[in-house]
Amino acid sequence: MKLLQADDIHKHYGGAQALRGASLSVRGGEVHALVGENGAGKSTLARILAGSTRADSGRILIDEQPVTIATPRDAQRLGIGIIYQELDLFRHLTVAENLVTGSVELQGRRMDEFCRPFLDAVGLDCSPRRMVSTLSIGQMQLVAIARALSTNAQLILMDEPTSALFEDAAERLFALIAGLKRRGVAIVYVSHKMDEIFRLSDRVTVLRDGMTVGSVETARTRPASVIHMMIGRDLEAEQREPRTSGEVVLSVDRLSTAKLRGVSFHLRRGEVLGVAGLVGSGRSELGAALFGMDRVTGGAIHQSGTLGLVPEDRRYQGLMMQMSVAENGTLAVLPRMQTAGFVKRRRERREMERVGRQLGLHCRSLDDAVSTLSGGNQQKVLLARWLLANPDVLFLDDPARGIDVGAKEDIYRAIDRLARGGKGVILVSSELPELVRCCDRILVLCEGRVTAMFSAAEATQEKIMAAATNAGDAN
């Protein structure tokens, strides 16, 4: 019996098409894995079903009846609960207050009594009066699940629930999911970790580029074929002029931080080192650690030059959106473009124009606010900042994410030129073809550890994906 059926769901954010005809069919009481690469549209689909985002078009049926899910309240009424990756709890309220939000009649002991069965159901052994902010992430997740149960949810969506959990907490979650399933609650489990998917799920639906590629019985497939469905076509071999690499400019020895566990590698001048890994694998934290933004708890970093970092989130970590193209580009090098504290504006323009040409930057005027540019051109402005700063090592965190194909090519060329100019480049990317195309070597991170290191010649998308999802553990 079909509990939920979603057909031909479309959704766009600005110019980006997040979903273009996704579908999902969930049976009562099953654990259904929803998988796909970063940006495939998994979370968007989950949010639409939970009523926190509205679809542009599409059809949703619950128990074969067409329904409209416009708000989270609609979803609740229809028996759909969601556990967000970032856990939308009120941290400064108690556990019980989080469970009963919305019904003010319950107070004091009656509130505790109301909560008890749901807390028992998820196996959370703490006072309902405890402040949520004092709980561990794993316990908070249990509170969120208890809250979903308290609204009588027949279907619970879990968006990458283990991404913030340590192993023992993840084990407890898996046991809980099995328990929920026995009670007849269906779970949609959004993830891209192969080991978990094959352990937990009855069926798998694969999304790619906002479309549903297919659904299969988990028992009748293998991690390798699911991965193949996720990444689609095989990569045609790109020809790249060979580069020669020089002396070691950066070496990292057993580096540990809150998110990294004993990461070691070295980087030579003239080399592009790729870093593959899923979101949350520690790949961005590697940059933060190298740049001194995260506290290093162990290991050592030896560098024989300066380091530049193009952060992952250009909007929040990179650009000053209200400032102009030129101002953003030259921000890191103003000390060398000044006399007596005054900016040499002519020189600023000249250098910015030069770098802009190199990168194929399109803007009406260098005085335009960066916020008026397209994503690709914004990324080029950020890249221009570091080309001008001219560091020996450049850490690029997913620089081609979410930008159009032409701009991507411009960025790949810039990376190649940097390496040929004797720089060491570290390129983090979610897109495996991009890594294979740009890099000399590819390091794979999973849960803060280096799980593989491939040369460009031996790297394939399947091998990288397997190392990044720890698929080895599932077999």
Partner 1 sequence: MIPRRAQSLAALTGIVILAIAISPVAGDGSRVFLQLGNLTDILRQISLIGMIALAMTFVILTGGIDLSVGSILALATAVTAMVLTRVAPGMSYGPHILLAIAAAVAVAGITGVLNGAVVATLRIQPFIVTLASMIGVRGLAKWITRNENIDIGFGQDVAAQFATVFREKAIVIGAYACAAAMFWLMLARTVFGRHVRAIGDNEKAAQYAGLPIRRTKLWVYTISGLLSGVAGVLYAAENHQGNPNAGVAYELDAIAAVVIGGTPLSGGRGSISGTIVGSLIMGVLTNMLRLKNVDSNLEMMIKAVIIVLAVAVQRERESA
Give the interface with partner 1 as residue ranges (CB under 8 A).
291, 293, 309, 311, 316-323, 327, 331-332, 334-335, 338, 341-343, 345, 385
CA–CA gap between residue 415 and residue 274 (Å, rounded): 12
28 or 402: CB nearest partner 1: 402
402 or 433: CB nearest partner 1: 402
375 or 472: CB nearest partner 1: 375
CA–CA gap between residue 146 and residue 94 (Å, rounded): 13
Least distance between partner 1 and beta carbon 149 (Å): 38
CA–CA gap between residue 32 and residue 155 (Å, rounded): 10
92 or 233: CB nearest partner 1: 92
**E-assigned strand segments in 48-96:** 57-62, 65-67, 80-83
**Backbone region of residue 41 per phi and psi (left: phi > 0; alpha: psi in -120 to 50; beta: other values):** left
327 or 431: CB nearest partner 1: 327
Is 226 strand, coil or helix?
helix
Q: What strands lie across the sheet with 65-67, from one edge to the other?
A: 16-27, 2-13, 57-62, 65-67
Sign for the CA dihedral angle at 174, 178, 180, 181 comes to positive
Least distance between partner 1 and beta carbon 334 (Å): 5
Pairing of strands 248-256, 263-268: antiparallel
Pairing of strands 2-13, 16-27: antiparallel
CA–CA gap between residue 230 and residue 334 (Å, rounded): 45
Least distance between partner 1 and beta carbon 271 (Å): 23
14 or 102: CB nearest partner 1: 14
98 or 324: CB nearest partner 1: 324
Least distance between partner 1 and beta carbon 388 (Å): 11
92 or 316: CB nearest partner 1: 316
Contact 21, 212 (CB under 8 A): yes
29 or 311: CB nearest partner 1: 311
Q: Which residue type does 183 have?
A: R
Q: What letters, b where the CB count within 10 A reaches 16 and e where it falls short, cover 424-454?
A: bbbbbbbbbebbbbbbbbbbbbbbbebbbbb
Least distance between partner 1 and beta carbon 85 (Å): 21
Least distance between partner 1 and beta carbon 91 (Å): 19
Q: Which two tokens stand for residue 136?
A: 């561990």
Least distance between partner 1 and beta carbon 325 (Å): 14
Least distance between partner 1 and beta carbon 292 (Å): 10
Least distance between partner 1 and beta carbon 103 (Å): 35
338 or 455: CB nearest partner 1: 338
Q: What strands lie across the sheet with 393-397, from one edge to the other?
A: 307-310, 393-397, 424-429, 272-276, 441-446, 449-455
Q: Which two tokens stand for residue 443?
A: 């390091």
Element (H, E) at 325: helix 325-329
150 or 257: CB nearest partner 1: 257
Least distance between partner 1 and beta carbon 401 (Å): 17
CA–CA gap between residue 40 and residue 19 (Å, rounded): 8
Q: Which two tokens stand for residue 10?
A: 């479309």
Sign for the CA dihedral angle at 363, 366, 372, 376 comes to positive
- Cα 464 → chain centroid: 17
Q: Which two tokens stand for residue 31?
A: 């654990």
Least distance between partner 1 and beta carbon 282 (Å): 18
